[in-house]
Amino acid sequence: MRPILLQGHERSLTQIKFSHDGDLIFSTAKDQVACVWFYANGERLGTYHGHQGALWTVDVDATTTLLATGAADNTARLWDVKSGKCLKTWEFPTAVKRVEFSDDGTQLLAVTEKRMGYLGTIAVFDIKVDVEAEQSDTPRMTITCEESKATVAGWSYLGKYIIAGHEDGSISQYDSKTGEQLLNVLVHESDMQVNDLQWAPDRTYFISASKDKTAKLISARDLQILKTYPTDTPLNSACITPKKDFVILGGGQAAMDVTTTSSRQGKFEARFYHKVFEDEIGRVRGHFGPLNTVAVHPKGQGYASGGEDGYVRVHHFDKPYFDFMYEVEREHARR
């Protein structure tokens, strides 16, 4: 199927999220407005107005009731998905770079930037998954990143750990109850920032994308590197596809170098790798700027990518995508 081009943002995309059912796509860009779209036809359902700065991040809870966003105006906000009403605003001393709900939706983490004498932190809030309820004003817990600021973070299975990716290329595991750092492993090249961290459906392992041109599949319980996907370009985003054992990587030459090169040289393609065999399977062209974010449909039916060029491209997978199998996989399926 032809990709659907979502032309609603005026500036470069920062994050895309699918709703748990896969019918809606939430997107944020540097233009201060979060959008929600229908996955099926790309029609815009609505927008969330209120932020005063570039939006960096978005997440939606598993029941598609609440939406969380983080922005450069030093706030994180909670919205009613249905009405678009802002339910809660949390103020921080610095910009909010990443928000994520735990898998049951009762907790929310927010990663804040290190700036103006403030260290980077990960703040954890208790959330009541109810539009009417009064949300708490202060975080339940704040993890301060002394060594290297966190750039991305997420909840592991059952909200057991908080996993954070750092500016120095390392990944940390924190106890989500106490905030104690359990592990810190340098998985990427030193000083090559971790740009994205996305989960497998059961949140037992995740993929990290880094400036060092590789994406790595890492186990949540012991931060063991399971797989490595090397590419020839800095990576901004990576996700793991359900149904098929693939991963999708997105990146491209840094935005500041782009004007001097053609789209061919910029490597603005979504790359598909086989999750287990680490082979590159294919590339999808279309963007004319680096890919800032990729997100996959929770049932593995399609994916969406958002670029520095300000467009979201929604792809629905066709039959050959599902039919493709390695000989050994087929062998295994027959067994």
Partner 1 sequence: MAPSFQDLPPEEEHYDEDEDIDFSDLREQYEVRLEEGLDAFIVIDGLPVVPEESKSKLIKFLLRKLNTVGKTREDAIFMPLNDQKKSEGFAFVEYETPEQAIAAARALHGVPLDKKHTMLVNKLTDIDRYGREGRVDEEYKPPVIEPFVEKEHLRWWLGDPHARDQFAIYRGDNVGVYLNRKKEAPENIVDRQHWTESFVQWSPQGTYLISVHAQGVQLWAGPNWTRQKRFAHPFVNLVDFSPNENYLVTWSHRPIHVDEGHPVLSMEEDGKNYIIWDVATGKALRSFQTIDLPGPAVDEAGNPVKKKIQWPAFKWSADDKYVARMTQGQSISIYELPRMNLLDKTSIKIDGVMDFEWAPATPQRDGIKNYEQLFCYWTPEIGSNPAKVGLMSIPSKEIVRTRNLFNVSDAKLHWQSQSKYVCVKVDRHSKSKKSLATNLEIFRVKEKGVPVEVVDSIKDTVINFAWEPKGDRFVLITTAEVLANTAVPPKTSVSFFCPEKVKGQAIGNFKHIRTIEKKNSNAIYWSPKGRFVVVATVHSQQSFELDFWDLDYEGEKPESEKDLTANLQLMATADHYGVTDVEWDPTGRYVVTSASIWKHAVENGYHIYDFKGTQLREEHVERLKQIVWRPRPPTLLTKEEQKQIRKNLREYSKIFEEEDQYELDSANFAIVEHRRRILDEWLAWRASVEEELRADRKEEGLPETPKEDAADADADAGEGAFVEEIVEEIIDETEEIVS
2: tokens are 């032809």
Q: Of the candidates 48, 92, 205, 272, which one interacts with partner 1 according to CB under 8 A?
A: 205
List 110's β-bridge partners, or say none. Answer: 99, 123
One-character DSSP codes across 251-270: E-S-GGGGGGS-HHHHT--E
Indicate the residue among 42 and 165 with the shorter CB distance to partner 1.
42
Can residue 204 be called a binding residue for partner 1 (CB under 8 A)? Answer: yes
Could you give the 3-state DSSP secondary structure of residue 158? helix
Q: How far apart are CA 67 and CA 80, in angstroms?
A: 6
Indicate the residue among 93 and 201 with the shorter CB distance to partner 1.
201
Q: Of the candidates 86, 129, 226, 281, which one interacts with partner 1 according to CB under 8 A?
A: 226
Q: Tell me how far, at minimum, the Cβ of 170 lies from partner 1, in Å.
A: 22
Is 149 in contact with 127 (CB distance < 8 Å)? Answer: no
Can residue 225 be called a binding residue for partner 1 (CB under 8 A)? Answer: no
* Backbone dihedral angles phi then psi of residue 147, each to the nearest 5 degrees: -75, -65
Can residue 299 be called a binding residue for partner 1 (CB under 8 A)? Answer: yes
Helix count and strand count (H, E) for the chain: 3, 28
Can residue 221 be called a binding residue for partner 1 (CB under 8 A)? Answer: yes
Q: Build a one-symbol-per-residue string for 160-189: x at contacts with partner 1 by CB under 8 A, - elsewhere.
A: x-----------------------------
**Radius of gyration of the chain from its Cα atoms, rounded to whole angstroms:** 19
Is 252 in contact with 290 (CB distance < 8 Å)? Answer: yes
Q: How far apart are CA 189 and CA 148, in angstroms?
A: 14
Can residue 325 be called a binding residue for partner 1 (CB under 8 A)? Answer: no
Among positions 45-74, residues that touch partner 1 (CB under 8 A) are 62
Q: Which residue has the tokens 């990143």?
A: 145
Can residue 330 be called a binding residue for partner 1 (CB under 8 A)? Answer: no
Closest CA to 296 of 12, 18, 14: 18
Can residue 133 be called a binding residue for partner 1 (CB under 8 A)? Answer: no
Q: Build a one-symbol-per-residue string for 244-273: x at contacts with partner 1 by CB under 8 A, - elsewhere.
A: -----------------x--xx--------
Stretch that binds partner 1, among 38-46, 140-148, 169-177, 183-191 (CB under 8 A): 38-46
* Binding-site ranges for partner 1 (CB under 8 A): 20, 23, 38, 40-41, 62, 157-158, 160, 202, 204-205, 219, 221, 226, 232, 261, 264-265, 276-277, 299, 326-329, 331-332
